[in-house]
Structure formats: C-alpha cells, structure tokens
Structure 1
Amino acid sequence: MSETSGIPRRRRALVAVLSTLGLAAALATAAALPADASAPTPPTGWSQVFVDDFNGTAGTGVNTSNWQYATGTSYPGGPANWGTGEVETMTNSTSNVALDGNGNLRITPVRNAAGNWTSGRIETNRTDFQPPAGGKLRVEARIQMPNVTGTAAEGYWPAFWMLGAPYRGNYQNWPGVGELDIMENVQGMNRVWATMHCGTNPGGPCNETTGIGNNVPCPGSTCQSAFHTYTLEWDRSVSPETIRFLVDGTQFHSVNASQVDATTWANATNHGFFIILNVAMGGAFPDAFGGGLDSGTQSGVPMVVDYVQVLSAGGGGGGTTPPPSGGRDAYSTIQAESFNGQNGVGTETTTDSGGGQNIASLANGDWALYQNVDFGSTGATQFVARVASGAAGGVSGLVEVRLDSPTATPVGSFSIANTGGWQSWRTVPANISRVTGTHSVYLTFTSGQPADFVNVNWFNFGH
C-alpha cells in the first residue's frame, strides 16, 4: 500500500485500552434522544464553548460562521487525494452537504453517470479548541453513520475528527501537529475507531501511519442503523495528561502523555485544534479491510449529524477566548487567541498576568484575523501589543497591522527580537496611519528568517 509522508491519515487502530469515565449517564441519555434533538444541556461544572444543532431550512448549506468547506481533492498545495488515496471530489454543493430541515446535517457521497464520486468535508473556522490549563475539554457529536452495509458499503469512510491548528495553511507538518480521530468507520462495519496520530511518519513513537487507537462495536443498535454519541474528553486535570474516547458514554480508548516522549506530546497537543466532519470514498483505510469501491457500491447514503458540541470545565478560567459574536472595540483589549481565522498560528497557555492563552509559533508569512474591529470616527493612531520572544540570536521580525487583507500595505508595525524567553512578556507600542470605521484587522508576521520569532498575548489601539 503506497504511503506519502507528512500527511494526515486515519488508520485502523491496534491497541485496546478499556476503562470507565464519569458523566457516562449524560452521554447515554444524549444517544437515546430523537433524531432532531438539540445538543444536551452541559452537565454541572461544564460550559458550552461551541455548538451547532444544524437547525435550518431543508436543502440549505451549513452556517459559514461556524464552518468552512474543504473542496476539491486536496488542500491548496497539499498532497493529492487528501493524502489518503480517497477518490471523491469534495464540494460545497447541497447535493453533498445540506441541512435536512429536521435539525440534522447530511453529508452524502454521490456517484455520477460517469462513475465519479463527489462528497463533503466541512471544518470549523475556529482552530482554538483545547482544554484550559488544569481543566478539561469535551468534543462530541451525535451521528448516524451511512446506513449501508455489505458490498453496497464498500469504500465508505465517514469520520468525525480533529487536526492541530498549525496544520491549517501548512499542510505538510502531519503527524507532528497531532490528529485526534473521535469516530471513523469503513465498509459499513458495525465498529467505531478512535485514534491519536503524532510524532513522525512512518513509524515513530505513535506507530504511524496506524497511530495509537482502538475500535469496538457500537452498543445496542448498530452504528449504521441508529444515532450514537461519539465523544473525546481531553483531561489536563490529571497527571499524566490524558485523552479519552467514548461511544454513548462508555470509554473504549485512551492515550496519555506518558505513552510518548515529552517533545512528541507537546508538539501534538500544545496548541488548539479544529474539527472536521467528512465522508470519504475509497482510500487506504477501506483498502485495509478489502476495499472494493466499484459499481456495486451504493451511491447517495448520507452520514447524518444531529449536533456538534464543545464543552470546557475547570482550569480556573485559563482557557482560550473565543471570537466574539458581534463587533470588537478597537480601544479595548483584544485577546490574541480570539482570532476569526489564521495561517500558521498556534495557541498555548500563557504565564503572563491574567493567564489564559497566547498565540504562538509565529513566523514569516503567518497571520491572524480579527473581524469587525470598530475604530470609530475619531480614528486610531497607535497600536500596542503584548509580546514575548525566545528567538535565537540574529532572528527578529515585524509585527504588522493590515486592514481587510493579509496582503494589504501595513498601516503600522514594530520590530521584535528575543525578549528573554517565549513567556518573557513586554508591552510594545507603535504608531500607525490613522484608521477610522470598521475593519477586519490582520496581524501579520514578517521576518527575513524562517524561524518562529514572536508570541502575542493581546493588543489594542489608541488615539
């Protein structure tokens, strides 16, 4: 089986790790809800940081405030066939990705008269999903896998999974940036796979391209005939830090930081993640179980998603600040990790005053987007940012402000080099050309060297 390095792949899991987890009753209740149910109320001690119930008019697309479509057969400049050998073309057509009018999302693979497949792949705009320091994160979805089995299911590959934020815009740094597969299935088998990918490929501490995983049958009704709730719980309140995988409230797999070396774990987890829902057709994972994608495979059987929800607990409020639903005041503190979009940006826990997160891994060509920043009619002439740098000697760069496009001419900038460490913070001011009105603000990072050169905790503007 041909393999290509540096590409996210989901593979069958080989390691069985069985244990139990609290809150199982709540998840089991969620699994038993009717097909058009809303996401369940968070249990005591948990707060909801993201939800989509997929309510809307039948035949309409997803809410693009929450999701973006990944289309074609690869990311821009990324490996062909999504790096996994799958054969479909992903589209944003409502033939492939649409609400059903009953509170569900349907991702439907379709074969045309020429025998070519199209399907759908959506990803959260947000890339900042991770637990607060000392806390927990739960990512869950209630899903009915494509209801097809046997020969008619050959080649079907539905998935609910997450990729490390540094992958977006890079597309060559897998598996080091981490992949967390919450639910995968192939060939219409009554099984759910959960896997963590990390380290190097092939081989390495995470046994790539297989990863560290396990699989079990769906409890009660089969995975294909009914909805089940698939959950990841990432726990930073315990030592070693642990990531658990559950179906209908029963844990069937876990991975913890002691299973790999410290550098591998940090590279795979010390940043945010984004969430992906897709149905692939063909590729390495189905091939591992007999393949067989041909004219006998049934077209048009959807994966049906009732809701996706992300919850956070504990950690003393040190979590990531999400992007606001409305406008931003240019003259109030804007938390750097509350971006609406990014290229090459990671997040990490900060030791700066106030705690929370900062954006990190910032190097030449990276940027972060902050939408709907209101400068008013008087206008801003100053920019202030809280920054830190542990860059090597001779490495420096510019923190720039651009409006409405990451390639627009900067309205202002300042230079930064080593401040004494990646958590050694200082407040740096800069003059900017007068800005009025409401704009999308891009922080861009420019350097003559390829190495990371700055972290940013927060910024604001002044008159």
Structure 2
Amino acid sequence: MSETSGTSHRRRRPLRRALFAVLGTLGLAGLAATAAVPSATAAAPPPPSGWTQVFVDDFNGAAGTGVNTSNWRYATGTGYPGGPANWGTGEIETMTSSTNNVALDGNGNLRITPRRDASGNWTSGRIETNRTDFQPPSGGKLRMEARIQMPNVTGTAARGYWPAFWALGSPYRGNYWNWPSVGELDIMENVQGLNTVWATMHCGTSPGGPCNETSGIGGSRACPGATCQAGFHTYGMEWDRSTSPEEVRFYVDGINYHTVRANQVDATTWANATNHGYFIILNVAMGGGFVDAFGGGPDGNTVPGYSMVVDYVQVLTAGGGGTTPPPTGNRDAYSAIQAESHDGQSGTITETTTDSGGGQNIGAIANGDWALYRGVNFGSTGATQFVGRVASGAASGVSGLVEVRLDSRTSAPVGSFAVGNTGGWQSWRTVPANISRVTGTHDVYLTFTSGQPADFVNVNWFNFGH
C-alpha cells in the first residue's frame, strides 16, 4: 500500500509486477509454517524457542465492536492531514472508524469491509498500531506476522479490491512527505481477487532511484494449498540483522518467497529505510495505482461487502540480547542532535522550521509525548548540562517540562527545564538546564510533561555540555 513521494501525481505500479515468478525460491521460515485452513479462528501461536512476543492482538471481543484502541488507531478520511490525497495511491474510498467497516466478529477475528452506498461512494477501514518502534534488536531478528483470509471474492466482482498487511517507517507518522526514503515493508498485498500474494520493500527516492520506485523491490507467488481468497494463510516478514548483509525476508505459510538484502542498494538508502522502528497497517483500499495495473476498478460489476478477515497479528523478536537495539554510540552528546532524527516517538509531528539553519523540528508536543535517540555517547568526562532549542506559541498559562531520561521512558529524569510561550511556534530560544552527571553511552528519551492537554512546545535540536 505504497505512499506517494513529494510529487502530486498519482503513483502507478507497472503491469510488469504481474510477471514476477509465481513459484519463487522455496524454503522454510525461521518459524514453523502454519497450514492454510478455512477455520475461522485460531489463537496466535506461542513464540518458538528463542523468540519473544513483543506485540499481539487476537481480536477477541464482542461482535460488532471496534478494535482495541490501546493497540490501534483509526486512519480516517481520504488521506493524512496535510499529506497526499487519496492516501498517495489514487485509491477512491473514504476510510472510517465505523463498525460497518472495521469490527470484531465475536469469533476472534477482525473484519475490514468495503461498503458502497446508493450514490456509488465507497467506504472502508484502515487501522495502524499506536506503536512505531518495531525493529530488530542489534544483531537479532524481528518478525511481523498475521493470519488472514483475503476478501473471498474473485472475478469481475472483485474488481478494485486491494487488501494489505504492511508497515511504514516511524518517521512517516506526522510527516507524510518523506516516502519512500523512510522505508515501507509490504508483507501482504493482493488486487482483483487474484490468487497471488505480493511482497515489496520500498525505499530510496521516487520515481526510479535505487529501489526502482514506484514499483519497489518486489516478489510474488500463489498462495499454497487453498487460494488466498478461499482460506486463511499466515503472512510474515523477518527482518534479520544477524546476517551479513542484513536482509528482509517475506513468507506465506512458512515459505520464503522473496528476500531483499542490504547490498542491493547503497548504504545510505538502506540506513535511511532501516535506522528506526516501524508501525503496522491493516486496510482494504478500493481502486488505485496497483489496481489500475491489473485492469482497474471498482466498477459496476464490483460487489461490495466482502471482508478481509484477520485472525491475529503478532510481532516477535529474537537474538541480539533484547527486544530493542542496545546503544551503539553513534551520536555525539556534545554536538547538536536534530530533534527530527529520532529513532522512535509518540505524539509528535515533523515540520519545516524557520529557525536559523533551516531543516525541520518536531512539534505538536503535549503531555505524555516522547522522542527516542539511541546510542548517545557522553564519554568518560561526563555531561552536567542539557541545552534545548525550543519554541512555543502556547496560550497564556500553558507550559510544561522538557525532560531527559536515560534508557527507559519510565526512568527518573536526570534533568529538565520548563518552557511556556516564547512568542510563537517558530520563535526559537536556547534554554539550558543542569542535569545529573552522565557518562558512557545511553539511549536518550526526551519526555514532555504538562498539567494540561494542550500542545506546549516545539523542539529543533538539543545537545549536552560539561
């Protein structure tokens, strides 16, 4: 479900994507294969030995209820606020949070169902994980996996259907114009009710570039056993940092049918696409560039109301000594760390700044938001000061704390400073604060605390001093 680049034209995936070899290279996944069976429900399997489950949703709940919003957020409308129209793909539906489009079925499944009203307008559903930090530990592996039955419709009645299970690089959230450089991993895509699963990695620049955009680096095959539409299949992606070169492998029912390796692109392109976490997306689009490459739609023959049925989604990690990469010392505490270069965040956006030097800042920051910067090297002498470049257009009486925490968002702050209105959201000040002495290499969290829910600060950059 690729997003668009910064251009305004609609993306078109070339027809040649249909020509990928269906058989691919067969092999066994690192996890046990799950047979394709038509049963409606199955719990997420327990992690195999050596793997740790870091996220799961079995979609258990009463029929007709929405998703668990502690795990998921609804993406609604026809695009992200300020982002490309039609979700950047040319699809025509309006996404909603209505249980007509996104609902549990009472049997342990999520159903995302496209609908068409009497005027011919389409609605459907798109949900995303709140978490944006899914990535392998350093030297380890990450697996995203879901057991899904594609909409059980084929032929002309399926024209325009585009179900997908995929992930976007965390810097996309709040920016919406940095695709494809931040990376996209399409774990399962299907169009037109064809018995084919596509997997793709998007990266680099568009159009063209090292990742052949807008097509990306893709592969495909038929679903083994029952067709993709007639039965459930387990679709998975393993991102493996234990290999050299690093690689991303795609699976259906345990069969590895497509692999992308770091040495297929230049080092900068790979780093830009992988040096951060990802968030997961489930959706069913109607129409768009990929659909157009296979004949187009929807049209008068298309039959609405067929659901993508999702039994479970889970994320696992293995190896590397933990579920998150340990600090690598790749950031200098005493040089400016650009706020938008975070390795993970919650609640912030990225926007263009008018501050000296230009570039971007993070903004829309309110109580409970945070940003993560991995591997900040403080050296042996130690830092005793923290300096932040901040701006605020908060209303009178609205203020909050910019806090520094080490290695965990729940650690006690080593220091903080208060900030209120500076004269505008692009009226910048450099604010110093004393901190407890810090040595060595740490993951640094900037956390933001306020007594009210309103946005209270933007951050352009920060550093530390002796």
Change (3 A) 1:117 1:166: same
Cα RMSD between the aligned structures? 3.8
Q: Which residue of 1 aligns with 2:277?
A: 272
Tell me whether 1:113 sits opposite 2:110 in the alignment: no
Tell me whether 1:343 sits opposite 2:333 in the alignment: no
- For 1:143 and 1:121, the matched residues in 2 are separated by 15
Tell me whether 1:5 sits opposite 2:5 in the alignment: yes
Contact 1:134-1:315 at 8 Å conserved across structures: yes
Please state whether the residue corresponding to 2:34 is helix, strand or coil: helix
Q: Which residue of 2 aligns with 1:169?
A: 174
Change (3 A) 1:57 1:19: same
TM-score normalised according to structure 1 size: 0.75
Q: Which residue of 1 aligns with 2:27?
A: 20
- For 1:368 and 1:136, the matched residues in 2 are separated by 32
Q: Which residue of 2 aligns with 1:409?
A: 399
CA drift of 1:20 comes to 2.0
Structure 2 gaps of 5+ residues are 327-341, 352-358, 379-385, 402-416, 419-429, 434-438
Structure 1 gaps of 5+ residues are 322-335, 346-361, 374-384, 391-395, 418-422, 448-452, 457-463
Q: Which residue of 2 aligns with 1:376?
A: none
CA drift of 1:399 comes to 6.4
Q: Which residue of 1 aligns with 2:298?
A: 293
Change (3 A) 1:268 1:318: same
- For 2:369 and 2:168, the matched residues in 1 are separated by 27
- For 1:185 and 1:226, the matched residues in 2 are separated by 14
Counterparts in 2 of 1:301-320, with a 5 A limit? 301-317=306-322, 319=324
Tell me whether 1:47 sits opposite 2:47 in the alignment: no
- For 2:321 and 2:390, the matched residues in 1 are separated by 32
Per-residue CA deviation, residues 116-171 of structure 1 (Å, 9 max, x unaligned), is 00000000000000000000000000000000000000000000000000000000
**Corresponding residue pairs, total:** 389
- For 1:314 and 1:129, the matched residues in 2 are separated by 15
TM-score normalised according to structure 2 size: 0.74
Amino acid at match of 2:220: N
Counterparts in 2 of 1:1-400, with a 5 A limit? 5-6=5-6, 11=13, 13=17, 18-23=25-30, 26-29=32-35, 31-32=36-37, 34-317=39-322, 319=324, 340-344=346-350, 364-366=361-363, 371=368, 388=376, 398=388
Amino acid at match of 1:242: E
Change (3 A) 1:293 1:237: same
- For 1:363 and 1:455, the matched residues in 2 are separated by 16
CA drift of 1:6 comes to 3.1
Identity %: 63
- For 1:158 and 1:64, the matched residues in 2 are separated by 21
Contact 1:371-1:441 at 8 Å conserved across structures: no
Amino acid at match of 2:361: N
Amino acid at match of 2:459: T
Change (3 A) 1:10 1:397: farther
Contact 2:113-2:125 at 8 Å conserved across structures: yes
- For 1:224 and 1:320, the matched residues in 2 are separated by 38
- For 2:87 and 2:236, the matched residues in 1 are separated by 24
- For 1:315 and 1:427, the matched residues in 2 are separated by 16
- For 2:308 and 2:442, the matched residues in 1 are separated by 49
